[in-house]
C-alpha cells in the first residue's frame, strides 16, 4: 500500500526540535512516511538545497512550522532555504499545512501586517512602481527591532498570506500533536471520498486528454458559416473568448526558484472589425467592451496597425491605465481583438520588459489554437472569394 509522503519543513532551531520530533514519530505511527532533512533524505545531488527541493516535489503534503528565526539565507536567491521549500510546494500545488507560533502570528496580524501595507503604499507613492523586493521595504520602512523576531519571518508570512495560505496556530506540547492528528484525519477522510469515484475521474481525464473540446468547438464554429459569411457573430465570438484563458507568467532568474512576474486573467471581451471602404467597422463584440470604429488613416489605432501589417503577425498592445493587454490578429478582411486584464503589480516598465514573453505565452496557450483555426478558416475564404 502506498504511503502518504509528508515533508516536514522548518528552520533548525531549538524551540522547534520537540515539535519536529513528536510530529515525525506521530506521522510514522499513523502509517505514513515523514520526511525531514536530518534523517530521511539521501543526497540525490551534491547540492543539499537541490536535494531538499526534489524531496518536496516527491512529497504529497508539505508541513511547515514557522517560529521567530528566518534560517539560512541564500544571497543569490534572496530567499531562505525554508522559503524556497515552501515556494516549490506552493507552485507544485502540494497540500500545504502551515503552523505558526501563536505569539508570532498574533504580532503579525495585529501590528506588522498593517505596517507592511502602509510601507508598500508609501513606496509606490515615492517611486511610482511596485517594489522589486518586499523584504527590503520591510527592512527600510518598518521598525522591527522592538520584536524578538527576525525581519525575514514577517516577509515570509506576508508572502504566504498573499498566496492565500491559511495559518494554523502552533504551541509546544501534546496539544500540537492532537491538533495535527485531527487535521490529518479530516484530510484522509476527504481523500477516501475521492477514491470512491476514482474510476469515473480517471475515465473523464482519459476522454479529455484524447479528445478535449477542440473537435466539438471547431465543428460549431464551422456550422456558423454559410456561403462564406458568419451567421451568428455573437455566438462565434463567445466560443473564441471562452477558450482564451489566463495564465501566470514566470521568470527563471535563480538556480532554485522561478519568480512570478504577474498574471494575465481570462479574456473579458473580444471584438471583431471588418474593413468597409476606408474604415474598420466593429461588427460585433462579446463581453465587457465599448464598440467603436476606426478610419484606416488612424495610425494610433491598434486595429488599424494590425490590419496594415503585411506579414499578418499577431500583435500585443497594452494599457497601464486600463490594466489590460490587447491581443489582435488578422483573418482575411477581419481583425479580432481580445481584452486580457492584468493581475498583479504591472507597470509601464514591467509591461515593456515582458511584452514578448506575454505574447509568446498566448501563442503557446490552448486558446490560440482556435485563433489559428479562425485565421485559416476566414483567411482562406477571403482568398477564395
Q: Provide the pLDDT for residue 382.
A: 44
Q: Which helix (H) or strand (E) holds 341?
A: strand 334-343
* CATH code of the domain containing 352: 3.30.450
Based on the fold, state whether residues 306 and 345 are members of the same structural domain. Answer: yes
Based on the fold, state whether residues 48 and 153 are members of the same structural domain. Answer: yes
Q: Is 9 helix (H, G, I), strand (E, B) or coil?
A: strand
* φ and ψ at residue 28, rounded to 5 degrees: -65, -40
Based on the fold, state whether residues 25 and 113 are members of the same structural domain. Answer: yes
Q: pTM above the 0.75 mark?
A: no
pLDDT digits (tens, 9 = 90+) for 84-138: 999 999 999 998 999 999 899 999 999 999 999 999 989 888 988 888 888 999 9
Instruction: Give dist(CA 128, CA 130) in Å, integer.
Output: 7
Distances 189 to 149, 297, 369 between C-alpha atoms, Å: 37, 65, 40
Domain extent at residue 148: 5-196
**Residue ranges, the chain, pLDDT below 50:** 1, 174, 210, 381-385
Q: Provide the pLDDT for residue 369.
A: 87
Residue 219 included in any domain: no
Burial zone of 235 (CB within 10 Å; 0-12 exposed, 13-18 middle, 19+ buried)? middle
Q: Provide the pLDDT for residue 15.
A: 78
Does residue 335 contact residue 371 with C-beta atoms inside 8 Å?
Answer: no
Instruction: Give dist(CA 257, CA 177) in Å, integer.
Output: 32
Based on the fold, state whether residues 42 and 191 are members of the same structural domain. Answer: yes
Based on the fold, state whether residues 105 and 163 are members of the same structural domain. Answer: yes
Based on the fold, state whether residues 28 and 151 are members of the same structural domain. Answer: yes
Indicate the pairing of strand 259-264 with strand 247-251. antiparallel
Based on the fold, state whether residues 184 and 327 are members of the same structural domain. Answer: no
Does residue 53 contact residue 63 with C-beta atoms inside 8 Å?
Answer: no
Instruction: Give dist(CA 244, CA 241) in Å, integer.
Output: 5
Alpha helices in 99-143, H assignment, sequence order = 102-107, 113-127, 134-141
* Count of C-beta atoms within a 10 Å radius of residue 202: 10
Q: Provide the pLDDT for residue 318.
A: 93
Domain count, the chain: 2
Q: Provide the pLDDT for residue 159.
A: 93
Does residue 66 contact residue 10 with C-beta atoms inside 8 Å?
Answer: yes
Q: Provide the pLDDT for residue 152.
A: 94
Does residue 64 contact residue 98 with C-beta atoms inside 8 Å?
Answer: yes
* φ and ψ at residue 167, rounded to 5 degrees: -100, 135
Residue 203 included in any domain: no
Residue 205 included in any domain: no
Residue 208 included in any domain: no
Bridge partners of 276?
279
Residues contacting 90, CB < 8 A, separation 6+: 96, 163, 165
Q: Provide the pLDDT for residue 196.
A: 58
CA contacts within 13 A on the Cβ side of 219: 3
Residue 311 included in any domain: yes
Residue 218 included in any domain: no
- 469515473: which residue's cell? 200
Based on the fold, state whether residues 192 and 265 are members of the same structural domain. Answer: no
Residue 260 included in any domain: yes
Distances 252 to 249, 260, 261 between C-alpha atoms, Å: 10, 9, 10
Based on the fold, state whether residues 288 and 191 are members of the same structural domain. Answer: no
Instruction: Give dist(CA 218, CA 229) in Å, integer.
Output: 16
* CATH code of the domain containing 160: 3.40.50.10140
Q: Provide the pLDDT for residue 268.
A: 93
Return the C-alpha cell found at 127.
517611486
Return the C-alpha cell found at 48.
543539499
Q: Provide the pLDDT for residue 74.
A: 92
Residue 283 included in any domain: yes
Return the C-alpha cell found at 281.
467597422
Based on the fold, state whether residues 240 and 295 are members of the same structural domain. Answer: yes
Based on the fold, state whether residues 191 and 250 are members of the same structural domain. Answer: no
Q: Provide the pLDDT for residue 383.
A: 39
Based on the fold, state whether residues 291 and 380 are members of the same structural domain. Answer: yes
Amino acid at each position: 500500500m502506498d504511503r502518504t509522503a509528508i515533508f516536514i519543513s522548518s528552520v533548525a532551531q531549538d524551540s522547534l526540535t520537540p515539535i519536529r520530533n513528536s510530529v515525525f514519530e506521530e506521522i510514522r505511527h499513523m502509517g505514513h512516511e515523514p520526511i525531514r532533512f536530518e534523517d530521511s533524505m539521501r543526497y540525490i545531488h551534491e547540492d543539499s538545497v537541490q536535494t531538499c527541493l526534489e524531496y518536496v516535489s516527491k512529497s504529497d503534503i508539505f508541513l511547515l512550522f514557522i517560529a521567530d528565526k528566518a534560517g539560512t539565507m541564500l544571497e543569490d536567491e534572496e530567499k531562505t532555504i525554508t522559503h524556497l521549500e515552501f515556494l516549490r510546494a506552493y507552485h507544485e500545488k502540494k497540500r500545504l499545512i502551515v503552523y505558526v507560533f501563536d505569539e508570532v502570528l498574533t504580532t503579525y496580524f495585529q501590528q506588522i501586517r498593517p505596517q507592511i501595507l502602509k510601507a508598500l503604499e508609501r513606496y509606490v507613492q515615492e517611486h511610482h512602481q511596485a517594489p522589486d523586493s518586499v523584504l527590503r521595504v520591510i527592512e527600510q520602512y518598518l521598525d522591527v527591532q522592538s520584536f524578538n523576531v527576525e525581519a525575514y519571518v514577517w516577509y515570509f508570512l506576508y508572502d504566504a498570506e498573499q498566496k492565500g495560505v491559511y495559518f494554523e496556530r502552533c504551541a509546544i506540547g501534546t496539544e500540537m500533536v492532537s491538533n495535527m492528528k485531527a487535521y490529518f484525519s479530516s484530510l484522509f477522510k476527504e481523500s477516501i471520498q475521492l477514491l470512491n469515484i476514482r474510476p469515473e475521474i480517471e475515465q473523464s481525464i482519459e476522454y479529455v486528454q484524447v479528445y478535449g473540446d477542440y473537435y466539438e468547438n471547431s465543428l460549431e464554429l464551422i456550422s456558423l458559416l454559410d456561403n462564406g459569411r458568419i451567421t451568428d457573430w455573437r455566438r462565434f465570438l463567445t466560443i473564441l473568448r471562452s477558450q482564451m484563458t489566463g495564465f501566470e507568467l514566470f521568470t527563471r532568474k535563480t538556480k532554485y526558484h522561478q519568480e512570478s512576474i504577474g498574471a494575465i486573467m481570462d479574456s473579458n471581451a473580444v471584438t471583431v472589425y471588418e474593413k468597409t471602404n476606408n474604415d474598420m467597422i466593429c461588427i460585433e463584440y462579446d463581453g465587457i467592451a465599448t464598440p467603436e470604429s476606426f478610419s484606416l488613416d488612424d495610425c494610433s489605432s491598434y486595429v488599424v496597425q494590425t490590419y496594415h501589417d503585411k506579414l499578418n503577425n499577431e500583435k500585443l498592445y497594452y494599457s497601464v491605465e486600463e490594466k489590460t493587454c490587447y491581443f489582435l490578429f488578422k483573418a482575411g478582411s477581419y481583425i479580432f481583438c481580445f481584452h486580457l486584464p492584468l493581475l498583479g503589480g504591472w507597470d509601464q516598465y514591467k509591461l515593456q520588459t515582458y511584452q514578448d514573453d506575454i505574447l509568446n505565452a498566448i501563442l503557446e496557450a490552448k486558446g490560440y489554437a482556435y485563433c489559428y483555426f479562425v485565421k485559416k478558416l476566414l483567411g482562406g475564404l477571403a482568398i477564395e472569394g
